[in-house]
Amino acid sequence: MLSLAPSGATAYLGAQFPLTRDAMLLVGLTGNIGSGKSTVAQLLSERGATIIDADVLSRRAVETGTDAHRAIAGRWGTSVLSADGTLDRAALRRLVFSDPAELEQLNAIVHPEVERMRAELVERARQRGDRVVVCDIPLLFEKRITDRFDRIVLVDAPRPMRLERLVRERGLKETEAMDMIVAQMPAELKRARADVVIDNDATLTALDQRVGEVWDALQAAADTMEGAGV
């Protein structure tokens, strides 16, 4: 999938995530569709991590009354709006999914706003003194923003398992789920560059246990940063 935030947004975010950080560990959590990253985010949140969810931010970015909502309605018209004027995200997704140019236009509207909100929330967490802040970002690798984080955690599961989960748990049509899976950068490439890989190929109990181990390691890393005085 394409990553299309304009370089201006990248420069802006660079300023928001300075190299010298307080004793806060900034973690990028990612994984391909159906891998289980939302489940992992939830499990980390239960252990005390601050979660900043890109999906939540992208929904907020296009709420009625926002600049992005106006821009999208202006570009794609009423076919992407529900009767009450809110954005029909599913209709919009269907419209742009198979057309890279349209997807690029949509991303150029939504991504800078999402990045702005994320930077703001990270800053607020830093000021609160939060220790481990996890940004759940599905397109972390595609957007080439890995270097903004202290640790990259990748959640992965075999493709057939992801397909089955999406169909069974999400109610997606099998062909629809397949299309979404093949459109993404292969997980093998991401595994090579992640600091931590969570293999979500067994039960939820096993996942919970693995997340516990990862949480301990993240906390230890946050402690080390503090000890080093950075």
Instruction: Give the nearer residue to ligand ATP in terms of CB position, either 79 or 205.
Output: 205
Which tokens go with 44? 């980390």
Number of residues binding to ligand ATP, judged by CB under 6 A: 15
Q: Give CA–CA dist 140/68, Å, rounded.
A: 21
**Which of these segments, 21-29, 46-54, 196-204, 222-230, binds ligand ATP (CB under 6 A)?**
196-204
**Which of these segments, 33-41, 71-79, 144-152, 212-220, binds ligand ATP (CB under 6 A)?**
33-41
Does the footprint of ligand ATP cover residue 7 (CB under 6 A)?
A: no
Instruction: Give the nearer residue to ligand ATP in terms of CB position, either 199 or 226.
Output: 199
x-marked contacts with ligand ATP along 152-191 as a string, rule CB under 6 A: -------------x---x----------------------
Q: Give CA–CA dist 88/215, Å, rounded.
A: 36
The answer to whether the CB of 40 falls within 8 A of the CB of 155 is yes
Q: Looking at residues 87 to 146 of the shown chain, list those that interact with ligand ATP (rule: CB under 6 A).
A: 138
The answer to whether the CB of 62 falls within 8 A of the CB of 72 is yes
Instruction: Give the nearer residue to ligand ATP in terms of CB position, either 34 or 112.
Output: 34
Q: Residue 101 half-sphere exposure, CB side, CA atoms within 13 Å?
A: 1
Instruction: Give the nearer residue to ligand ATP in terms of CB position, either 208 or 226.
Output: 208
Q: Give CA–CA dist 14/80, Å, rounded.
A: 33
Q: Which of 5, 28, 29, 37 binds ligand ATP (CB under 6 A)?
A: 37
Does the footprint of ligand ATP cover residue 204 (CB under 6 A)?
A: yes
Beta bridge partners of 151: 27
Does the footprint of ligand ATP cover residue 28 (CB under 6 A)?
A: no
Residues in CB range of 177: below 8 A, 6 or more apart: 33, 34, 163, 166, 167, 170
DSSP-derived letter for residue 195 is S
The answer to whether the CB of 9 falls within 8 A of the CB of 112 is yes
Does the footprint of ligand ATP cover residue 33 (CB under 6 A)?
A: yes
Catalog residues that contact ligand ATP under the rule CB under 6 A. Answer: 31, 33-39, 138, 165, 169, 200, 203-204, 207
